[in-house]
Amino acid sequence: MTSSTLTTSKKTIGLTSDNIAGVSPQILQHLIEYSVGDATPYGNDDLSLQLDRKMSALFETDVAVVLVPTGTAANSLCLAAMSPAWGAVLCHPNSHINNDECGAPEFFSNGVKLLPIDGDDCKIDPITLSQRATLKIGDVHTVQPAVVSVTQATETGSVYTIDELRAIGDVCKSHNLKYHMDGARFANAIDALGCTPAEMTWKAGVDALSFGATKNGAFGVEVIVLFDTSLKNEIEYRRKRAGHLMSKMRFLSTQIDAYITDNLWLNNAQHANAMATKLRNGILSIDGVELLHPSKTNIVFCKMSPVMIATLHEHGFEFLANRWGDGVARLVTNFATKAEDIDAFIDVLAASSK
């Protein structure tokens, strides 16, 4: 035997993020089909030009769409176009734009300020929002509220109900504020609520949506869906200036075309949510493990002992732990998560609790 002995790598099962998953076969096939031949660049190909109509059908109203490769770009470009540089974006302290965008909303908007508005379950409280929206209006020394941004589903897996979204929409209307929705996990929220895309957006007063696809089976594309279509021209210029206008736009458009065909976007989310439900139910049966948030989507937060965390890691289960507190683990399922892997996780966790 030589010194370079072959070893078998341990199987890893990823629950760190829905970004770890591959690409849906339907989207890959679409990419292959549309990679043949020439196409007009910068969004002027036939497929890209059809997306406004197709997304309008999905949302049951006329919309304008702008494609970008990342969720950070989608959120930041929206907020920059919806607020003046001296404006403020009202959002939850635990929102993605406040914690995980590395200052991109401020950067893209030339300095807009994020103002945290607290609320239970990672959701903005409409009463607190209404109170904050009236403070120091017209005071030249203070940034002026311009936009409210909600994360749907939230960073803890909870979802705003339709009534909660409407209540926030009413505040926006009363105080002349724009209404943005960060929908990186939009499909997961739709499945959890059992509602339509229209009910969760423009019918609740939303002006602009970051419609996520990358976390749910796409290769890398997000859609800015504008119910206030007057924003499109400015966002398109901002997209180019920010370096997010893709020359070969058809490869973003093909992903979205496949994503919304035959309800792939919803089917993928339904599977991810079902795997998270299976995971939650299994955890509930184990002594010494505590579920921390009332998640209804594909994110599960729980608290367990250091021994349990170490044992799961040793058995090849990858997930984030201790980032949100000692013993706190975040488990995220995706469209490709296997039921047998969830069963294996629960078996190892149960054995480590004895």
Quick one: pLDDT at residue 294?
A: 85
For residue range 67-78, list pLDDT tens digits in order: 999 999 999 999
Quick one: pLDDT at residue 216?
A: 97
Quick one: pLDDT at residue 9?
A: 47
CB 160 within 8 A of CB 179: no
Dist CA 266 CA 259 (whole Å): 9
List beta partners, residue 144. Answer: 87
CB 147 within 8 A of CB 181: no
Quick one: pLDDT at residue 5?
A: 39
Residue 341 per-residue DSSP state: H
User: Would you say how long the chain is, in residues?
Assistant: 354
Residue 62, number of CB atoms within 10 A of its CB? 13
CB 90 within 8 A of CB 147: yes
Tokens of 290: 């505590």
Tens of pLDDT along the chain (354 residues)?
333 333 334 678 899 999 999 999 999 999 999 999 999 999 999 999 999 999 999 999 999 999 999 999 999 999 999 999 999 999 999 999 999 999 999 999 999 999 999 999 999 999 999 999 998 899 999 999 999 999 999 999 999 999 999 999 999 999 999 999 999 999 999 999 999 999 999 999 999 999 999 999 999 999 999 999 999 999 999 999 999 999 999 999 999 999 999 999 999 999 999 999 999 999 999 999 999 988 899 999 999 999 999 999 999 999 999 999 999 999 999 999 999 999 999 999 999 887
The candidate with the shortest Cα–Cα distance to 260, out of 175, 208, 320, 190, is: 190
Quick one: pLDDT at residue 7?
A: 39
Rg of the chain (C-alpha set): 21
HEC string for 90-128: EECCCCHHHHCCCCHHHHHCCCCEEEECCCHHHCCCHHH
Q: What is the DSSP string of 264-319?
A: HHHHHHHHHHHHHHHHHHHHHTSTT-EE-S---SSEEEEE--HHHHHHHHHTTEE-
Residue 323 per-residue DSSP state: S
Quick one: pLDDT at residue 282?
A: 95
The candidate with the shortest Cα–Cα distance to 14, out of 352, 280, 325, 336, is: 336
For residue range 236-255, list pLDDT tens digits in order: 999 999 999 999 999 999 99
Quick one: pLDDT at residue 10?
A: 60
Max Cα-Cα span within the chain: 80
Q: Please provide residue 160's backbone torsions phi and psi, each rounded to the nearest 5 degrees.
A: -70, 130
pTM: predicted TM-score of the whole model, two decimal places: 0.93
